[in-house]
């Protein structure tokens, strides 16, 4: 999705009773060792970014780009092994993978180091967090913050939907004014449109709501060539296709999706609000956390590397385009079933879900075969 396809929210001066002109002056100041107005040299602003799908991969790509490491969001997704995750039967966590795990995958495959802090595990004091954020920004780097939505006060889309989390990029601080400057690269509104935001938010709210954060901890050159990227992505695709269901230890890869479809049989036993809530939960996790991303990132991956896929490239592109559209329609049917309170339709929906997964698995197997011929 290019900049022309998304909406950039204006700087919300009313958040801190601060005029946009004043804000622009502050963004132009040099980093202050005293912390009065510490800003990293971002400033490719949010409206200069290309946002495809996801808050984590979009913010991470922006952070890398700010350090002159140029990878697009699709590469970040596959290099982080975002394609695979563990599912143990709780529909409320389907598609979620700990940031720590994805960072470990990233570092092991790219050699590009990032520091990671789990604030809840360390029981980190806010003063310590603030000092570290200031130090990172003063070195000219930005940070990835994983924040509870109720603490993202710059937009009511978050505060009115508490209980979730979101990834943003921190690029400036003004502690004396209780201001943090953030880039939100994937602000999804109620209609499904992608918005972007770059501007002030409450520093105290961010300190309160941040559950983990990461920042660049890499020195020296950092570059990956196309062959390296393809080899790593091929290996992750192989891991996904060979994923197994290990019972209480969870299911991985394609097996995670098949186990979810099997578990959806229990939803047909629910009634009323319980059924609607279950449909909404599964819909959210397939659309926002997993399946829709898999389809769109794969689509973009094939477009980007079609010159390496040989004679299969056109067929693969046509297949993923069709799968992408069919997946959207299929997920929308689940959402409507919840609104219409139609548990009697679940059996046929499960059958269609199985058929869709069969098509997806076959397509990814074909992509894997094409990549295996070049990823050596």
* Residue 46: band (very low, low, confident or very high) from pLDDT cuts 50, 70, 90: very low
pLDDT recorded at residue 36: 45
pLDDT at 5 over 90: no
What percent of the chain clears pLDDT 70, i.e. is strictly above it?
82
d(CA 358, CA 190): 31
- Domains of the chain (ranges; CATH) run 3-69+112-216 (3.90.70), 226-372 (no CATH)
User: Would you state the pLDDT for residue 161?
Assistant: 82
Residue 354's pLDDT is what?
A: 98
Q: For the ranges 21-30, 32-41, 131-140, 332-341, which has the lowest average pLDDT?
A: 21-30
pLDDT winner (highest mean) among 15-19, 141-145, 365-369: 365-369
pLDDT number for residue 67: 80
pLDDT of amino acid 225: 87
Percent over 90 (pLDDT), the chain: 53
Q: Which of 50-59, 229-238, 331-340 has the lowest mean pLDDT?
A: 50-59
Q: How confident is the model at residue 49 (pLDDT cuts 50, 70, 90)?
A: very low
The pLDDT tens digits for 295-341 are 999 999 999 999 999 999 999 999 999 999 999 999 999 999 999 99
| Mean pLDDT computed over 206-211 | 94
pLDDT for the residue numbered 121: 75
Segment 122-155, tens digit of pLDDT = 667 888 899 999 999 888 888 999 999 999 998 8
Q: Categorize the per-residue pLDDT at 236 as very low, low, confident or very high, splitting at 50, 70 and 90.
A: very high
Q: What is the pLDDT of residues 67-82, one digit of tens each?
A: 888 888 899 999 999 9
The pLDDT-based confidence of 2 (bands split at 50, 70, 90) is very low
Residues 364-375, mean pLDDT to the nearest whole number: 90
Tell the burial category of 220 from Cβ atoms under 10 Å away from its Cβ (0-12, 13-18, 19+). Answer: exposed
pLDDT at 16 over 90: no
The predicted structure's pLDDT at residue 375: 59
pLDDT the model gives residue 220:
67
């Amino acid at each position: 999705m290019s900049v022309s396809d998304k909406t950039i929210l204006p700087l919300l001066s009313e958040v801190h009773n601060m005029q946009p002109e004043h804000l622009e002056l502050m963004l132009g100041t040099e980093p202050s060792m005293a912390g009065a107005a510490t800003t990293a040299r971002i400033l490719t602003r949010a409206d200069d970014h290309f946002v495809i799908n996801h808050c984590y991969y979009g913010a991470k790509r922006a952070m890398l780009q700010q350090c002159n490491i140029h990878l697009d969001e699709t590469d970040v997704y596959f290099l982080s092994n975002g394609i695979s995750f563990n599912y143990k039967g709780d529909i409320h966590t389907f598609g979620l993978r700990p940031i720590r795990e994805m960072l470990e995958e990233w570092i092991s495959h790219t050699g590009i180091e990032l520091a990671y802090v789990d604030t809840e595990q360390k029981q980190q004091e806010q003063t310590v967090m603030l000092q570290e954020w200031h130090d990172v920004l003063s070195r000219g780097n930005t940070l990835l913050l994983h924040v509870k939505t109720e603490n993202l006060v710059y937009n009511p889309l978050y505060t009115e939907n508490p209980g979730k989390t979101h990834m943003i990029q921190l690029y400036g601080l003004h502690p004396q004014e209780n201001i943090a400057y953030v880039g939100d690269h994937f602000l999804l509104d109620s209609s499904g449109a992608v918005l972007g935001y770059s501007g002030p938010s409450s520093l105290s709210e961010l300190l309160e709501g941040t559950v983990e954060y990461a920042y660049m901890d890499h020195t020296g050159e950092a570059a990956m060539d196309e062959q390296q990227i393809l080899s790593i992505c091929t290996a992750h695709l192989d891991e996904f296709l060979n994923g197994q269901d290990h019972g209480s230890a969870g299911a991985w890869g394609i097996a995670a999706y098949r186990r979810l479809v099997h578990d959806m049989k229990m939803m047909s036993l629910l009634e009323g609000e319980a059924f609607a809530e279950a449909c909404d939960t599964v819909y959210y996790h397939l659309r926002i956390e997993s399946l829709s991303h898999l389809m769109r990132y794969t689509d973009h991956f094939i477009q980007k590397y079609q010159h390496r896929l040989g004679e299969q490239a056109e067929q693969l592109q046509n297949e993923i385009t069709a799968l992408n559209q069919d997946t959207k329609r299929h997920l929308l049917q689940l959402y409507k079933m919840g609104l219409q309170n139609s548990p009697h339709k679940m059996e046929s929906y499960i059958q269609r879900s199985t058929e869709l997964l069969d098509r997806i698995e076959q397509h990814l197997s074909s992509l894997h075969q094409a990549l295996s011929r070049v990823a050596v």
